[in-house]
Amino acid sequence: MASAIYPLRLFQYGFETVKGTAVPATYKIVGIATYTPEIDREFEEFPRGVRAPVTGGGFTLRKGSMLNFEGNLTYEEVLLFLESGLKAGVLTGAGPYTYTYTPTINANAATSMKTATIEFVIDDGSTKHFQREAAFAVTRSFTIDLAFNQPAKITAEMFARAEQTSTVTAGLTPITGRTQIPSNLFKVFIDASGGTIGTTQKSTLIRSATLNVTTGFEPDYTLDGLADLDFTQVDSQMLNATLDLTMEHNADAATEIGIWRSGSVRLIRLKVDNGAAAGANKAITFDGAYKYLEPPAFSEENGIEIVTMKLGLEYDQTWAKAFEVIVINGLAALP
């Protein structure tokens, strides 16, 4: 029997109309996906008259699923993780289209995001050795990595209900027109208040940035008599994020070190666009209010003084927000 071929691994998804009710996948997503079915079992350790375990294989306590994803950041595929991790986007425009994600922070956010059904396949080209689906998929966290002369990267972790037998949806393709993003195309803006966010671009300062967002969504297991022993709803915990900025140590970096000393809040925008004319443009904007968490870390790279600063999310009273993402692309509806 042939062994499965790694390049034939397949991850695809479809957004659900009713949370937890499985739907056929609609698109492949390009990247590396690792799917982990979860089963927690109890193995009894009571005396059974012999000096060896007698468990009968154990009995199941809980089931679930987890999926880890890594790929290049695109203006299109990022929607999966934003819709299922922040909030169902507000769609405006007539082409290009704008998706705005302003997380709910003053109420239960678990009703405001979308969920997905994920399909995962491991294949040898003739036999699908692993072919499963899981409903109620929600993004637990995602990370955006930006480094000079490198592609912008996204990693994400999703949780879902227990795996089910599946016949993979055939004939799907990646999203038409998906556009990868070079990190060097990003701009960084640092301002003092929400009313001026995105005003002051910091050129020749940032060498790399890592944005790590914890959505606050977690599976909520209750006593509901479910045969699959999986979760029934999603718990809405604290939204949080950290932003690591690696800077060349110039006057702007010295200013940020001074802000760390004073403890002031910074409004930071990471923005990228494809520079196209109106009607064809694409863009992603990550806006956040942050405070500096740690002392500056000094280092050297190719004879240049470098300073790395870590920031953490902070609600800004003037802005009346903590975090927001805006995506512009050519998709008239969710993929």
- Per-residue model confidence (pLDDT) at position 88: 95
6's CB contacts (< 8 A; 6+ apart) are none
- Per-residue model confidence (pLDDT) at position 7: 86
The Cα–Cα gap between 308 and 304 comes to: 13
For residue range 177-219, list pLDDT tens digits in order.
999 999 999 999 999 987 789 999 999 999 999 999 999 999 9
Q: Residue ranges of the chain with pLDDT lower than 70? A: 1, 277-279
- Per-residue model confidence (pLDDT) at position 29: 94
For residue range 146-169, list pLDDT tens digits in order.
999 999 999 999 999 999 998 899
The Cα–Cα gap between 220 and 232 comes to: 6
- Per-residue model confidence (pLDDT) at position 158: 98
CA dihedral 320, 325, 326, 332 (to 10 degrees): -120
- Per-residue model confidence (pLDDT) at position 308: 97
The Cα–Cα gap between 146 and 284 comes to: 13
